[in-house]
Structure 1
Amino acid sequence: MRRLLLCVPALLLAAPAAAQTPPAAPPAVSPAPVTAAPEFRARVDALADILSGKGDYDAYFSDEFRAQIPKAKFDEVNAQLTSANGPFSDLQRLDAKTPWSGVITVEYRDALVDMAIAADPAGEHKVIGLRVLGATAREASLDAVGATLRGLRGSSGYVLAKLGGPAPQVLMQHNADTPFAIGSEFKLVILAELIRATNAGERKWDDIVTLDGKELPGGGYHGKPAGTQVSLRELATQMISISDNSATDILLKTLGRAKVEAMMPVIGIKDPARNRPFMGTAEVFKLKGIADLRRRYLAQGEAGRRAMLDGEVATTPLSAIDHALFRSKQPLSPDTLEWFESPNDLVRVMDWIRRNTEGPKGADARAILSKNPGVPALVASKWQFVGYKGGSEPGVMAMTLLLQGKNGDWYVWSASWNDPTQPVENGRFAGLVGKAAELAAP
């Protein structure tokens, strides 16, 4: 249920505010290439020792950087990079943006990782900013990406389909009809109901929701006082672009669980019964985080589960959750307590959204869907339109892209990876999905 950004949030290395802003792109026409200062180049070259665990951390980074990222935290993030991408190999190249900042491509066994780096022009020229921008898998063909995805531990599935005919035309697939836990991709169903309602004139994107002050899960609206007003457009934007759980639950309540459930067969979900009752994020957090509640809920049929959601689950405070279960970062019933859709389901969902957002009336929904492209900017630049929703929790990773080629053709690329026994490698998976999107561009 966590949001998926350009790269996994845990892999972001913070820096002082001035250094956190990515370097500005060079002008379209430049009289001369930017040359890195020799001292900056030396700092960049020394990054190899830092990433290999052999460098002097205190001597390399500025005091301000180390205040925000102590060495123990850096080592943890560095270990995550290695886990996701294989062992560090080499520094490939530096693209200088200014004499003291640029983007460096770092070579790992399984991926190329771009990092923004900046050094202090004064004093000892210590590094004041280092941030992971994105990873690109090393696979050179769609077949190679598919083979790697098929070889992931646990279970995986994917489909690349071309849209526009009577039915999606499958170009490559594996376990495409197998339902997988999909995390926050379930929020596409809520978006679809909002699209239906606005298209039908039942609601408007500018309609205002007044919060009642009741408990909400984490997100931008958590703790907001009763009387706070927010538009449907803002809620949907936050739900899709940053996977805001509080926005999601407000929208689910506002639109109505029954109407959201009714959309599942309409938009092409083959087995909607598996997702009924359609849960909100707070409900899932409570069920996953309170063992006895989870056990009794899973023992019920649909009617019993509805009764529990409307009664005991609704009245149980979020403070009753055993947060140690989440801090362990181990999978919590992803095979039984989740939202489930197959890759082909998600192709049909995205195709329904595409068809029902054509023309001016669809501008709001398409803007929302494309706000976070889910893939590196270089990959997104190969397409005319990139719409995205992903989802993750320990043991679950899923990413679905609605893509329009520069020739006008439409595609969907959807992939899922589940392992109920241990966490999946989010960064590695995201790199493979991004690489496939790059290679699939017509």
Structure 2
Amino acid sequence: MKDNPPYGFHTTLAVIYTLLFLQASFCQTSAQENIKAYLNHLPPHIEISCTVQRGDGTVLFSHQAEKQVPSASIIKVPILFYLMEAVGRGEVDLDEIRELQEEDKAEGSGQLQLFPAGSRFTLRYLAEEMIRISDNTATNILINILGMENIQQWLKGQGFHATQLNRLMMDFEAIEAGRQNYTSAKEINRLFLMLINEDFLSPEYRDEAIHLLKSCADGTAFRRYLPPETEMAHKTGTLDYIRADAGIIFMEKPLVMAVFVEGFKTLEEAEVIIGQFAKMALEDFKEN
């Protein structure tokens, strides 16, 4: 089980699903029907929850968007936003230095687990690594600084119900005890819409959050088939049983979208589906 995305997979049978779809002859009358047809022709073991919206919140496509799913590392998005809000309130400082403790170290993604206890990092660096390479140790330090219950109460106060922070990263005992982190495509999209449309963050810290989300190094999902120059602020997530990507594609009319894939047989199968979805959404909705 992982809280981080793997890299470097070779092409699998998932590519065949995409080719079969592209070769099939459908009579779509709208972009929504085009994506719906693609989803309908995926293997029956695949489960998708997704949504695509304009930056103003207009829903362009939605499929099981309200379904609550394990969030994997997508939960790091609300942690980032709460951090930036706490900085804006003067409760913490991004230049504040924290010392790494042995008990902070978490397996899975990230390099901080390899540093010796006593190593010192700013909160800004912890936030950067949490988003850039989904560092689980950095994430757990931030959760402990900010308070898991505080983050969860913030989510509730903002009207989020499906999105829940109930455990640290890589806490398998918590998972076995039934404490999982959750979200939904609809709610994670709403978080990104809040980022670009609302004043819950000052411009300085909103820009900082967007900058960090643009640094996400995982190019195997949304970015898989998009032009390299595509401007995107996003976060991926991976568990053995779920693969996800969510974020903002910046263009004249920004797109905000989230895709969660369950039931896949290989991670690359899920990544091809997410990548193809993003490619279709960009092509179908960029002029609408």
User: What is the TM-score with the length of structure 2 in the denominator?
Assistant: 0.80
Q: What is the rounded CA distance, in whole Å, between the counterparts of 2:228 and 2:154 in structure 1?
A: 29
Report what 2:168 is aligned to.
280
Q: 1:346 aligns with which of 188, 199, 202?
A: 188
| Distance apart, 1:109 and its partner CA | 2.8
1:394 equivalent to 2:228? Answer no
Q: What is the rounded CA distance, in whole Å, between the counterparts of 2:254 and 2:12 in structure 1?
A: 35
| Distance apart, 1:433 and its partner CA | 3.2
State the percentage of identical aligned residues.
21
1:109 equivalent to 2:6? Answer no
Report what 2:51 is aligned to.
159
Partner SS, residue 280 of structure 2: helix
Check conservation: 2:237, 2:244, Cα contact below 8 A.
yes
**Residue ranges of structure 2 left out of the alignment (5+ in a row):** none
Partner SS, residue 82 of structure 1: coil
Check conservation: 1:145, 1:435, Cα contact below 8 A.
no
1:441 equivalent to 2:286? Answer yes
1:360 equivalent to 2:204? Answer yes
Report what 1:3 is aligned to.
4
Q: What is the rounded CA distance, in whole Å, between the counterparts of 2:121 and 2:21 in structure 1?
A: 41
| Distance apart, 1:404 and its partner CA | 2.7
Q: Deviations over 1:240-293 (max 9, x none)?
A: 121111111111111111111112124442335xx36x211131x3455xxxxx
Report what 1:196 is aligned to.
85
Report what 1:143 is aligned to.
33
Q: What is the rounded CA distance, in whole Å, between the counterparts of 2:276 and 2:137 in structure 1?
A: 30
Report what 2:60 is aligned to.
171
1:85 equivalent to 2:83? Answer no
Structure 1 residues 112-131: aligned runs within 5 Å: none
Give, as a single letter, the amino acid of the residue that structure 1 aligns with 2:238: S
Give, as a single letter, the amino acid of the residue that structure 1 aligns with 2:34: A
**RMSD over equivalenced CA pairs, Å:** 2.9
Q: Report the CA distance shift for 1:392/1:226 in structure 2 as closer, same or farther (over 3 A).
A: closer
Report what 1:316 is aligned to.
none
Q: What is the rounded CA distance, in whole Å, between the counterparts of 1:110 and 1:2 in structure 2?
A: 31
Structure 1 residues 30-429: aligned runs within 5 Å: 77=10, 81-86=11-16, 109=19, 143-152=33-42, 153-164=45-56, 168-218=57-107, 219-272=110-163, 275=164, 278-283=166-171, 285-287=172-174, 294=176, 297-298=177-178, 338-354=180-196, 355=198, 356-357=200-201, 359-372=203-216, 374=219, 375-376=223-224, 378-379=226-227, 381-382=229-230, 385-405=231-251, 407=252, 409-419=253-263, 423=266, 425-429=269-273
With 340-349 and 205-214 compared, the bigger mean Cα shift is at 205-214
Q: What is the rounded CA distance, in whole Å, between the counterparts of 1:418 and 1:217 in structure 2?
A: 25
**Residue ranges of structure 1 left out of the alignment (5+ in a row):** 12-76, 88-107, 113-138, 289-293, 299-336
Q: What is the rounded CA distance, in whole Å, between the counterparts of 1:204 and 1:142 in structure 2?
A: 44
Q: Which has the higher contact order (CA 8 A, sep 6+)?
A: 2
Q: What is the rounded CA distance, in whole Å, between the counterparts of 2:159 and 2:248 in structure 1?
A: 15
Partner SS, residue 143 of structure 1: helix
Check conservation: 1:379, 1:437, Cα contact below 8 A.
no
User: What is the TM-score with the length of structure 1 in the denominator?
Assistant: 0.54
| Distance apart, 1:151 and its partner CA | 4.5
Bigger radius of gyration, 1 or 2?
1
Partner SS, residue 95 of structure 2: coil
| Distance apart, 1:178 and its partner CA | 1.4
| Distance apart, 1:426 and its partner CA | 2.5
Check conservation: 1:213, 1:224, Cα contact below 8 A.
no
Q: 2:275 aligns with which of 431, 436, 441?
A: 431
Q: What is the rounded CA distance, in whole Å, between the counterparts of 1:261 and 1:241 in structure 2?
A: 23
- Number of matched residues? 268
Q: What is the rounded CA distance, in whole Å, between the counterparts of 1:10 and 1:110 in structure 2?
A: 24
Check conservation: 1:213, 1:223, Cα contact below 8 A.
no
| Distance apart, 1:422 and its partner CA | 5.0
Q: Report the CA distance shift for 1:252/1:189 in structure 2 as closer, same or farther (over 3 A).
A: same
